[in-house]
Amino acid sequence: MTSYTHPDDIRRLFELQREASRAQVDVPLLVRRERLLRMKKLLEENAPVLAAAVQADFGMRSQRLTEVADFFVLRAQLAHVLKKLSQWMKPRRARTPLYLMPASAHVQTQPLGVVGVIAPWNYPVQLALGPAIDALAAGNRVLIKPSELTPHTSAQMASLVAQFFAPDEMCVVQGDAAIAALVASLPFDHLVFTGSTAVGRKVAQAAAANLTPTTLELGGKSPCIIDADCDMADAALKIAHGKLLNGGQTCIAPDYLLLPRGKEVAFTEAYRAAVARLFPYFEGNPDYAAIIDSRHLARLRNMLQQAQTQGADVQVLTPQPGTPAPPPTTIGDGVARQMPPSLVFGATQEMQLMQEEIFGPILPVVVYDRLDDAITLINNGPRPLALYWFGKSDAVRDSVLQRTVSGGVSVNETLMHIAHDGLAFGGVGDSGWGGYHGEAGYLRFSHQKSVLVQSRFSMGAMLYPPYGPQFDRIMSLLRRLF
């Protein structure tokens, strides 16, 4: 069986993985590496098939875009984990305080058991297999539930995982929101969810019933601050790339821009030029991803309509005059859902696009007079998954970093902190909790067991009752140590 869609099958599969994890508590390095190498082989041999499935789900998303946004990240992650795993698995010595000597102590990592992954649709391969890689490295069994909005990718992933892994090692289950709710209710040893804050709350509540620890990556409204002295052309290019990658459907995309007053024209011109450089045309451009479905497209259009009705200046970017007509395409049905980028000036906090995560190619621009005003606006909202700052002053940069809280930060760049193997990726507050990637991911999906090994020369008995004058003298001596 390569596809699990019935609730009873999913429950039996979970129990199979749970029993296997309890039967093999210790998972040796060689077993973990062999599983990771199978994952690597799965990607090496089947990337084109998976990219075609992603294209079928989006209707317009090139294989090259999926290569850089999904496969490249996974390949880099696998290479890093395979290189570092033996080092991470070594027990870590802990210094023993004087009053416990001559005992020794160490921290030993062990698999948690079964890790569940409820993955989203926007990067359907990376955000399903990325957490799975870290969980496998930590010696766990993994059950993945992909999004129902990417059925072709989900089915292909289920089939491929079944070819490379036994069901009690790793498998993919499929289904709608009801199946996702079922998965969230299972008593995993750890559950990873990537998606909206609203659904994340429901997942956390379901997991809490089983005391299941969670890692929640929930997106949010990630601000981008431009300082007055920044290189506007460079900043605009990087902001346009971060905003428009995957049609704006990225959890850490810059959600709104904070711009010094008086820089509106300079930024608009630079942003238009940057968009034209990245995407000479939109409709029929396979590198410019379609909005995933008509419901999400309607939501984005309604946001723009409401903002315009309430007085905002909505500037829809169109191909520059003289741009050659795009070649005819038969790639998919997503052409009608390739939404042109927009800049929105004069957005207010009462507008929907300033209250919800946009998840599309719309960039509201909020003008500020003082940096304090920009920081106050950020801190008055829910804590974001990412924050971006562009400028030249180290002092201003450090002030922004010290006075704001976010899941992660890129300075004079967008998105790229997620690609750093040494940086944990995760949110804070409303944007989630817990982080994975690299050693942080390995530790997130491991139990760090504290071990004290007592010596036969232990003097601990001096602290045993019955208490008396000798005990008082010992405690007096120990108090001098603190």
CATH number where 69 lies: 3.40.605.10
Domain boundary among 423, 457, 477: 423
Total domains present in the chain: 2
CA distances from 134 to 81, 84, 251, 424, 426 (A): 8, 12, 20, 12, 14
Whether the CB-CB separation of 256 and 357 falls below 8 Å is answered with no
Neighbour-count burial for 333-353, b at 16+ CB within 10 Å, e otherwise: ebbebbbbbbbbbbbeeebbb
- Strand runs labelled E in 245-302: 256-260
Asked if residue 404 and residue 352 are part of one domain, the reply reads yes
Angstrom distance (rounded) from CA 379 to CA 372: 10
Q: In terms of DSSP H, where are the helices of 151-293? A: 151-164, 177-185, 197-208, 232-244, 264-278
430 assigned to some structural domain: no
Interacting residues of 232 by C-beta distance below 8 A, sequence separation 6+: 226, 263, 266, 267, 270
Angstrom distance (rounded) from CA 281 to CA 96: 64
The per-residue pLDDT for 460 is 80
Angstrom distance (rounded) from CA 264 to CA 60: 32
Catalytic residue among 224, 230, 251, 439: 251
Asked if residue 261 and residue 162 are part of one domain, the reply reads no
Asked if residue 372 and residue 292 are part of one domain, the reply reads yes
Residue 224 annotated among the catalytic residues of the structure: no
Pick from 144, 140, 141: nearest CA to 117: 144
477 assigned to some structural domain: no
205 assigned to some structural domain: yes
Indicate the pTM of the whole model: 0.93
472 assigned to some structural domain: no
Asked if residue 213 and residue 230 are part of one domain, the reply reads no
47 assigned to some structural domain: yes
> Which residue has better confidence, 481 or 110?
110
Residue 217 annotated among the catalytic residues of the structure: yes
The per-residue pLDDT for 99 is 84
* Sign of the dihedral through C-alpha 220, 225, 231, 232: positive
Asked if residue 227 and residue 213 are part of one domain, the reply reads no
pLDDT tens per residue, range 424-450: 999 999 999 999 999 999 999 999 999
317 assigned to some structural domain: yes
Asked if residue 128 and residue 259 are part of one domain, the reply reads no
354 assigned to some structural domain: yes
Q: Is the pLDDT of residue 1 over 50?
A: no
190-199, 406-415, 464-473: the lowest-pLDDT one: 464-473
Catalytic residue among 217, 224, 230, 439: 217
Asked if residue 238 and residue 336 are part of one domain, the reply reads yes
Asked if residue 236 and residue 131 are part of one domain, the reply reads no
Structural domain of 51: 7-218+435-447
Asked if residue 245 and residue 118 are part of one domain, the reply reads no
pLDDT tens per residue, range 196-230: 999 999 999 999 999 999 999 998 899 999 999 99
pLDDT tens per residue, range 13-32: 999 999 999 999 999 999 99
Asked if residue 133 and residue 232 are part of one domain, the reply reads no
pLDDT tens per residue, range 404-431: 999 999 999 999 999 999 999 999 999 9
pLDDT tens per residue, range 129-144: 999 999 999 999 999 9
Asked if residue 278 and residue 264 are part of one domain, the reply reads yes
Report the length, in residues, of the chain: 482
Asked if residue 162 and residue 33 are part of one domain, the reply reads yes
Interacting residues of 153 by C-beta distance below 8 A, sequence separation 6+: 50, 53, 54, 56, 57, 124, 125, 146
CATH number of the domain within which 335 lies: 3.40.309.10
The owner of tokens 């010596």 is: 455
The per-residue pLDDT for 456 is 86
Pick from 197, 58, 66: nearest CA to 125: 66
369 assigned to some structural domain: yes
Whether the CB-CB separation of 363 and 313 falls below 8 Å is answered with no
Q: Is the pLDDT of residue 250 over 70?
A: yes
